Chain A
């Protein structure tokens, strides 16, 4: 199997409380994966484990057949908007240029080529006119595009998005999903934590339903069924239109 992320028997717990239990997953490149599950299902923990940010209790994670440490530069993480300090004195360009840091040796400076790549990423997201703005001066949708531009600038293989559509307008949501689909078509690996069940069928090729254990993973058409959803969400099933599932 040429899966880009291979997870075998992953378990994680904090303070003796189990968050993820015995997860087996093989994530394929070229597909857009939606990661779904109720609050506390372990979606963020799954991401943190893949990124090597936390200690895992047991199990093995391989990225492109190698260890996390070896492949770290191939992965980018796009955090939720709420986790960012928007008052920070950083311009849009400053943030996007961060995407070039992994390419630099310790004392190596950023050069014209880095700036060009950053500028191209900004143009791709349609926000190059804001490059000198402080990040807090942008709208929610524009802010999300800044982080997407940084991710593109980093030229990674694997993208992990934590709720990219929270607090953005519909125009931006549309733009973001188009970019994600394009990245998938280019053979990248994309995992997206998502909450809005009504758009799952339109957006994702594959779904991962999670609730501490892996409920199910597979093709959206066959896997995203009412039965599987209620298995994952249990009593917590959010208000959702049945038409959205059966459509």
Chain B
């Protein structure tokens, strides 16, 4: 601990704290665009590439903060131009081009620094590599403050342009936004941020301050504005806590800040609502329980149909342990789906209906797999066992309409029908009878199915022929003949005209 522990009593400590917070906020916000544009490597590259600029600035103007800053930004932009030039004009892969440019520039920087410092100048390579937040001067702090305000203000003022070019560059271009200009502007801001961060975390670790808070925020929110704010906050917190950590353990602040940011990232990875691993685990567990529950209900129905429904037979059939089965049974009982009396189980009417929904899902999906995907009967059962728990009522209604309301599954078992045959069904018309399609049908999917066949609401038609599988109708308007499968015709509401 020692001298670093009470750094906050001194101007040095206060300067370090303020500078770190500024850097955390600026890198956090800017980093979101870097991550979303898949430019993490470019962030790393720019931070390394500024080094020769720093040395040149130092040689020309001495250790003045502004000279070093100008040199660094110039080097950063030069690197961006080199990279883009190679990517457009030479057949080298994008990331390879980035790697070549920044390692070369970094090497020049390292060689120059060691040469200059050996010649007696006060320029410490370590400070550039890992930061020297405690060595900040007032001028450094003002410069960092100025840069932070400039960068954050730019993000606010040009938010629209950054959002559009990051999300859909081609569309942005068609709207008259110059994607190239925005790209170079972002590179400029990135160079600013990198240079301002050099003192706090150093060349090697700047990229962490750019991408780790941003990646954390992206796990926590789905709205870009919130992502920017959260990322900035995570950046600030990481910087402050890192500085405290470093003070406490009397070690280097830069890496401590990076570790704090990593810690926040890990917390988000595990505990983020929606996208976190814990959430996903709980969700999976809940899902598994739901599947077991539904299986219990479905098997109860199957056993009931064979007059063999009892607690032992159900446990035997399901193959999971007795306690689990009893637990699901008591839930079923609470919901009024079964009546349990010792070993005797009876399905209530609601229970029947609920179990039939699952059977319907299973058999409709099997039918779909055979009819529309061409799988064989042997391939479909396992699939349907999975999907019967996933498919929603809405999906099933659509699927059913799309397949013209099949009566049986591929194994020949009846598919439980959701809607009973309508009293005014098209199938009840006899030959030469005229009618019109009722605008009110059982659901929108049936309307769509008819539309696909070329039949709209209120269309008038005459039944022209019939056989076992289909009905032929003739539309009044266009005189067009359309075949309608019988199974579909039983669901179509019509109103008779004669």
Contact = CB atoms under 8 A, between A and B. Distances in A.
B176 interface: yes
Contact of A85 (B160, B167, B226, B449): B167
A134 B223 contact: yes
Nearest to B222: A134
Given A104-B160, A134-B223, A77 B174 contact: yes
Nearest to A147: B171
B108 interface: no
B298 to A, nearest CB: 27
Nearest to A75: B174
Interface string A119-154: 000000000000000100000000000000000000
B174 A101 contact: no
21 contacts: A51-B173, A52-B174, A72-B175, A83-B170, A85-B167, A89-B36, A89-B221, A89-B223, A94-B224, A95-B167, A98-B163, A98-B164, A98-B168, A98-B175, A102-B175, A107-B157, A110-B160, A169-B398, A170-B448, A171-B448, A174-B448
Interface in B435-494: 444-445, 448-449, 451-452
Contacts of A88: 36, 166-167, 224
B173 A90 contact: no
A170 B226 CA distance: 36
A98 B224 CA distance: 14
Contacts of A72: 174-176
Contacts of A169: 398, 448
Q: Enumerate the 4 nearest inter-chain pairs by beta-carbon distance, A residue then B residue, closest first.
A: A134-B222, A170-B448, A89-B224, A171-B448
B213 to A, nearest CB: 14
A73 interface: yes
Contacts of A90: 163, 167, 223-224
A101 B218 contact: no
Given A88-B167, A98-B171, A174 B176 contact: no
Interface in B403-417: none
Looking at chain B, what size class is its interface with the partner chain?
Answer: 20 to 34
Interface of A: 51-53, 72-73, 75-77, 79, 83-85, 88-91, 94-95, 98, 101-102, 104, 107, 110, 134, 169-171, 174
B301 to A, nearest CB: 31
A12 to B, nearest CB: 17
A52 B160 CA distance: 22
Nearest to B398: A169
A85 B173 CA distance: 17
A101 B160 contact: yes
B110 interface: no
A90 to B, nearest CB: 6
Contacts of B163: 90, 94, 98
B177 interface: yes
Contact of A171 (B218, B221, B226, B445): B445
Interface string B57-97: 00000000000000000000000000000000000000000
Contact of A170 (B174, B176, B451): B451
